[in-house]
Amino acid sequence: MMSRQFEAHMVEPVRLLMQTAMGLDAIIEEFSAGYGTADLVGAKFCAKSCQVRQRAKTHAPIDHHHWVEVLLALRRNARVSYDSLKRRITFSDNTLRRTVLPALAALGLIERDKDGYVCLLKNPPSPAREIVAVELKQTRWREAILQARRYTYFADRTYVAVWNGTAELIDRRLLYRFRLGLIGVERDHAEVLVDAPRRKPRHEKMHRYCAEYLYGNALS
């Protein structure tokens, strides 16, 4: 508990760094995408995608992972049978039928015809150009690397953030191996010591869900 209290002092300097030096448009604390909880996650939005969504009146965030999963399973203007759709998703038939499809229909994204087929009417582009995740640790850098590796499932860039004194101890070969960046933190300042390379997130659904969640947070 004491460690988490001290790590809380690291949040504001890193948040400021993400906002200014990294140019992220939305930043939240403690985001979970099924692979652990990242201390800070931020997104850089795509202005063109956001404008397209505004014009098409699909600006509402698709901020539930079940909704995203269904949209990724469909193709624009292609009718898909309900049974075929069920085989493409990971959650229950009851949730799909009673919750997810009605919600997507209410957003004007899908429709179900009288034969029970599902058709994707609109396919809103992802609002984010880039997602950045950060794991904060005072001194336990090995644990930080282990946790930060999980965020590569949904983030384009992932950083480990530690106190500046600890940063000197980190094995930079591990950062290179796992394609992680490094942030050094002081009480009132944070700086990027090793740039995180951009990589394709390993889980498309969770990347899109994170983008929509941050987009919704920014709209609210």
Positions in the chain whose pLDDT score sits under 50: 1-3
- What's the total number of domains in the chain? 2
Residues 98, 169 within the same domain: no
Single residue among 120, 141, 163 that ends a domain in this structure: 120
In this structure, are 77 and 140 located in the same domain? no
Report if residue 141 sits inside a domain.
yes
Which pLDDT belongs to residue 5? 53
Considering 120, 140, 158, which residue would you say is the last residue of a domain? Answer: 120
pLDDT at residue 116, rounded to an integer: 83
Q: Quick one: 138 and 189 in the same domain?
A: yes
User: Which pLDDT score is estimated for 128?
Assistant: 96
pLDDT tens, position by position, 210-219:
999 999 999 8
pLDDT tens string 11-35: 999 999 999 999 999 999 999 877 7
The CATH number of residue 109's host domain is 1.10.10.10
Are 115 and 132 in a shared domain?
Answer: no
* 166 within some domain: yes
Q: What is the pTM of this model?
A: 0.90
Residue 55 lies in a domain: no
Considering the domain architecture, whether residues 190 and 86 belong to the same structural domain is answered as: no
Which structural domain range is residue 32 located in? 2-47+127-219
Q: Are residues 182 and 165 in the same domain?
A: yes
pLDDT for 76: 84
3-state secondary structure of 24: coil
**What pLDDT is attached to residue 52?**
92
Within-domain flag for 170: yes
Domain match, 144 and 214 both = yes
183 assigned to some structural domain: yes
Sheet holding 157-163, edge to edge: 26-32, 37-45, 128-136, 157-163, 181-186, 189-194
% helix, strand, coil for the chain, step of 5: 45, 25, 30
Is residue 195 located within the same domain as residue 104? no
- Give CA–CA dist 69/67, Å, rounded: 5
Look at residue 174 in the predicted model and tell me its pLDDT.
95
